[in-house]
Amino acid sequence: MTGMLGNTVKVAAVQAAPVSFNLHESLDKVSTLTTEAARSGADLVVFPEGFLSAYPWRYAFDATIGAREPRGRKWFAKYYNSAIAIESPEFQILLSIAKANKVILSVGIIEKDGGTLYCSAVLIGRDGKLLSNHRKLIPTAAERLVWGRGSGDGLKVVDTDIGKVGGLICWENYMPAARLALYQQGIEIWLAPNADDLPSWTASMQHIAKEGRCWVISVNQFCKVSDFPSDYPPFTPEHYDRQPDGSAWTPDAILNHGGSCVVGPLGVFLAEPLWDKEGIIYADLSRDTLIESRMDFDPVGSYSRPDIFSLHVNTKPGVNVVLKE
């Protein structure tokens, strides 16, 4: 528990939707909700996957095997333009939100770098400085048409004044080797921004908390069709996509039911899953419970066998070309 501020830390998981495809209005929402959480005493505020500025529900940008359509390219350009670059004035706004509220801030972003988009999670310190940027290692299913793949340099655990903080995005959490890489770095507060509202997901969060003997903050969006532009292709009447019951999409139709929660290091909920509404859930993390949980299990200590098992992690940046003078 190196560097932990006091014996108890208050964390906040923000279950909300962005103003999809609108970066500046989504940044305003980050600011408003972060301020609300900070005024409630939160030391750490966590936002869901793809909050800046959209998780593109039910749309693969009209790409099929062997063909791409003009409409999809136009919408991809809109998506790119609503994404955020690390070196940009918009990112400076995000840094300033953390600094103004004196919180550690984690936000799921769609990061643009060159011509590629990445699904990333950034961690920002109370002083408004970027602590880490983790790009999703493997986009899931049709996400691979839209997002690039991250590299091992983003598998970091940061030692902060509230403890050692790191995490994985959505289904990366099902990658055993990635989890072990974070356990080995002594992770204490595990951040899991995601887009999975299935009941089995919350069970996975309990498993990771108990396996890693760490706190897990699972944070998901609650979003509806009305959170997207009115001309967003999947939800227009002429599009083939339909609700599970076969009916056309309506503005109030729910796309993601949420389920954000906080789990303690013995796999027990500290904040129960929140379903079917926006909200901020809070939990107090007590240092003593973390120490107590490791009495009988430590995945990279007392309950590891390095003489039998080993893992090698390539932490080099994923750069194809290195220019030398």
Q: Which positions are annotated as active-site residues?
A: 49, 136, 170
Structural contact between residues 276 and 222, judged by C-beta atoms closer than 8 angstroms: yes
CA distance 189 to 167: 8
Signed CA dihedral, 199, 193, 181, 212: sign only: negative
**Cβ contacts of residue 307 below 8 Å, gap of 6+?**
none
Nearest one of 121, 297, 321 to 209, comparing CA atoms: 297
Read off the DSSP letter of residue 137: S
The kind and range of the H/E element at 293 are: helix 287-293
Residues in the chain: 325
Q: Is 253 exposed, middle or buried (0-12, 13-18, 19+ CB in 10 A)?
A: middle
